[in-house]
């Protein structure tokens, strides 16, 4: 099995743990913005220490960062903030497993963004597997909506937040892949670590200033929630490092597609941890997404 597939699966596992913690913090402890900042602020010390430690251990020089790198990194960072904010807000609309599944529209949207921005292409069979995953998302959208026509079923708040988060995650993934490819090094871990550290610093500063202006009480609440939030930082750092390293080796659409195994992990968390129930239709939708994941793994 290729390394990027293992990295994508590991990233999905860490991301599921992070979203479990993020859901807990966003349901009473922190606002959507505060829970989003927690993901970045509590990752920053771990990411910085790991990257600097790796550079010192390997004796590598700190790579020069080009203007193109900064454009990719900052665009990806902003898009990830908006995407994460949408996901946190989505938790209030649907249960945990379905909330995560809605955001998986990121995969098919990443195909388009990657093609337009980086010229990354996917094979026809792989695209078919990705479309199968989209069908699963549409089934879930139908189950989440109120009675009425197709327009009303698909254009509700939950579906809108899920689709928006998918679009922003697609932009962030392609931006991050572009940034890692701009780092002048042959070491994929160094390229990933440098790009991740830069992005996380920018995200923490930008969102911290925004909350100080718009929701000043959230900064104090974020500190008070540190005993839980620090674990969000650890899992967020581990997941992001796996994603970034995978992006140095493979098309972002393929990486995200394999990462849909997160749906299986989130389903287990939904039932076992949050004691939520999954309807028959939701089970069918998740099953279609699972088939899509397996197809993509077999095709690579």
Instruction: Dump pLDDT digits (tens) for 55-114.
Output: 999 998 888 899 999 999 999 999 988 887 887 777 666 555 555 566 767 888 899 899
Percent of the chain with pLDDT over 90: 31
Reported as a single tens digit per residue, the pLDDT across 212-257 is 998 888 888 888 888 877 888 888 889 999 999 999 999 998 898 8
| 145 band by pLDDT with thresholds 50, 70 and 90 | very low
Over residues 163-175, the mean pLDDT reads: 91
Share of the chain above pLDDT 70, in %: 81
**Mean pLDDT lowest among 115-119, 190-194, 279-283:** 279-283
Instruction: Give the max Cα distance, the chain.
Output: 63
Is 64 buried (19+), middle (13-18) or exposed (0-12) by CB count in 10 A?
Answer: exposed
Q: Does pLDDT of 141 surpass 70?
A: no
Is pLDDT above 60 for 282? Answer: yes
Once rounded to an integer, what is the mean pLDDT over residues 6-32? 76
Q: What is the pLDDT of residues 192-210, one digit of tens each?
A: 999 999 999 999 999 999 9
Angle between helices 67-90 and 188-214 (to 10 degrees): 60
Q: Tell me, what's the pLDDT at 158? A: 67
**Can you give the pLDDT at residue 188?**
92
| Contact (Cβ atoms closer than 8 angstroms) between residue 235 and residue 21 | yes
pLDDT of residue 155: 56
6 against 132, higher pLDDT: 6
If we measure between CA atoms, which residue out of 66, 23, 42, 21 comes closest to residue 203?
A: 42
> Is-contact 132 292, C-beta < 8 A?
yes
Q: How far apart are CA 176 and CA 69, in angstroms?
A: 9
Q: What is the mean pLDDT of residues 253-279?
A: 74
Is the pLDDT assigned to residue 22 strictly greater than 70?
no
Mean pLDDT of 151-169: 72
Per-residue pLDDT at 26:
56
Q: What is the pLDDT of residue 288?
A: 82
Distance in angstroms between the alpha carbons of the first and the last residue of the chain? 9
Among 109, 228, 90, which Cα is nearest to 159's? 90
247 touches 180 (CB < 8 A) = yes
pLDDT reading at 46 higher than 50: yes
Over range 167-175, report the average pLDDT.
93
Q: Identify the band that residue 36 occupies on the pLDDT scale cut at 50, 70 and 90.
A: confident
Is 4 a residue whose pLDDT tops 80? Answer: yes
Do the Cβ atoms of 224 and 175 come closer than 8 Å? no
Phi-psi group of 119: left, alpha or beta (phi > 0 → left; psi -120 to 50 → alpha; rest → beta):
left
Question: Is the pLDDT at 289 greater than 70, yes or no?
Answer: yes
Residue boundaries of the structural domains of the chain: 3-299
Q: Phi first, then psi: what are they for 247, rounded to 5°?
A: -65, -25
Q: What is the DSSP letter of 274?
A: S
Rounded CA-CA distance 245/227 in Å is: 28
Which of these, 281, 282, 257, 258, lies nearest to 270 by C-alpha position? Answer: 282
The tally of CA atoms less than 13 A away on the side-chain side of residue 146 is 5
Report which of 259, 226, 195 is spatially closest to residue 15, judged by C-alpha positions. Answer: 259
Average pLDDT, the chain: 81
Residue 47 has pLDDT above 90, yes or no: yes
């Amino acid at each position: 099995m290729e390394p990027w597939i293992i990295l994508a699966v590991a990233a999905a596992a860490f991301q599921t743990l992070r979203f479990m913690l993020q859901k807990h913090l966003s349901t009473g402890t922190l606002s959507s913005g505060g829970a989003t900042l927690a993901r970045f602020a509590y990752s920053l010390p771990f990411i910085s220490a790991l990257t600097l430690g790796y550079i010192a251990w390997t004796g590598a020089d700190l790579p020069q960062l080009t203007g193109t790198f900064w454009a990719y990194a900052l665009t990806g960072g902003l898009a990830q903030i908006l995407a994460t904010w949408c996901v946190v807000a989505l938790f209030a609309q649907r249960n945990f497993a379905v909330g995560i599944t809605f955001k998986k529209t990121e995969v098919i949207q990443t195909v388009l963004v990657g093609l337009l921005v980086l010229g990354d292409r996917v094979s026809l069979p792989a695209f078919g597997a990705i479309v199968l995953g989209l069908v699963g998302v549409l089934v879930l959208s139908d189950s989440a909506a109120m009675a009425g026509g197709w327009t009303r079923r698909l254009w509700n708040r939950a579906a809108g937040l899920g689709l928006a988060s998918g679009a922003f995650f697609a932009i962030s993934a392609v931006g991050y892949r572009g940034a890692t490819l701009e780092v002048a090094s042959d070491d994929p871990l160094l390229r990933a670590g440098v790009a991740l550290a830069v992005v996380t610093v920018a995200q923490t500063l930008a969102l911290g200033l925004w909350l100080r202006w718009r929701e000043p009480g959230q900064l104090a609440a974020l500190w008070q929630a540190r005993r839980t939030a620090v674990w969000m930082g650890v899992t967020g750092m581990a997941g992001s490092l796996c994603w970034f390293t995978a992006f140095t080796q493979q098309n972002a659409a393929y990486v995200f597609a394999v990462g849909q195994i997160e749906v299986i992990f989130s389903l287990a968390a939904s039932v076992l941890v949050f004691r939520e129930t999954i309807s028959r239709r939701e089970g069918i939708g998740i099953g279609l997404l699972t088939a899509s994941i397996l197809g993509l793994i077999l095709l690579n």
